[in-house]
Chains A and B, each alone.
Chain A
């Protein structure tokens, strides 16, 4: 069964450094998402992406964050200048087909990347 994959599984970085988190969504999916979960807190929506542009973003997704689909398979989240409070588990998800059918499609999640900012 196809799965969403994410790399790396763990990332340690220094405050102020740029990080890129990578995701390979399920191949025929068209909607992509990033969520994060700070330790001990709930899973929070960051951004959704469809047709090569951002569909929706949360207040958390400020100018430090960007997303990109550089090729036909990868979907990346970049944090330009990391802060201590960016330490969290970051989940990628994808869904199929695009919404607009009157109900939300199931989102399939990757295993997550644990980011630690020192």
Chain B
């Protein structure tokens, strides 16, 4: 079975402060991990995936297989980062298993 846990439902930070969204997973094989973002009134869209090792909009995420984590980080949050963030896992069957999501609010 595959499971994704995002322990924080809500996260509020000030503009310019660092932000970290936690994601832990459970999967017996080698998973693919993703972060999807949903801005207000917009569709789910891919933010980044661990295999590409990119930094998108200043966000990074490192897959830690020992801790089974894929935390999302940004050193300096911006107001436009306010959104719902979902961590997701894909196993050998390619379906996505999502975490419950974290709502991030960046205050001025």
Contact = CB atoms under 8 A, between A and B. Distances in A.
A43 B98 contact: yes
A41 B98 CA distance: 10
A42 B51 contact: no
What band does the interface of chain A fall in when counting residues whose beta carbon is under 8 Å from B?
20 to 34
B95 to A, nearest CB: 4
Contact of B94 (A99, A109, A111): A99
A107 B51 contact: no
Interface in A79-118: 91, 93, 95, 99, 103-112
B99 A107 contact: no
Nearest to B43: A111
A3 B44 CA distance: 12
Contacts of B45: 108-109
A42 B96 contact: no
A91 B51 contact: no
Interface string B21-63: 0000000000010101000001111100101000000000000
A35 B32 CA distance: 18
A65 interface: no
A56 interface: yes
Contact of B43 (A41, A48, A58, A109): A109
Contacts of A107: 46, 96
Contact of B98 (A42, A48, A95, A111): A42
A45 B95 contact: yes
Interface of A: 3-4, 31, 33, 35, 41-45, 48, 55-56, 58, 91, 93, 95, 99, 103-112
Given A31-B94, A48-B95, A109-B44, 20 more contacts: A41-B100, A42-B86, A43-B44, A44-B98, A45-B96, A48-B94, A55-B93, A55-B94, A56-B94, A56-B95, A58-B95, A93-B96, A103-B32, A103-B51, A104-B90, A106-B46, A109-B36, A109-B43, A109-B45, A111-B43
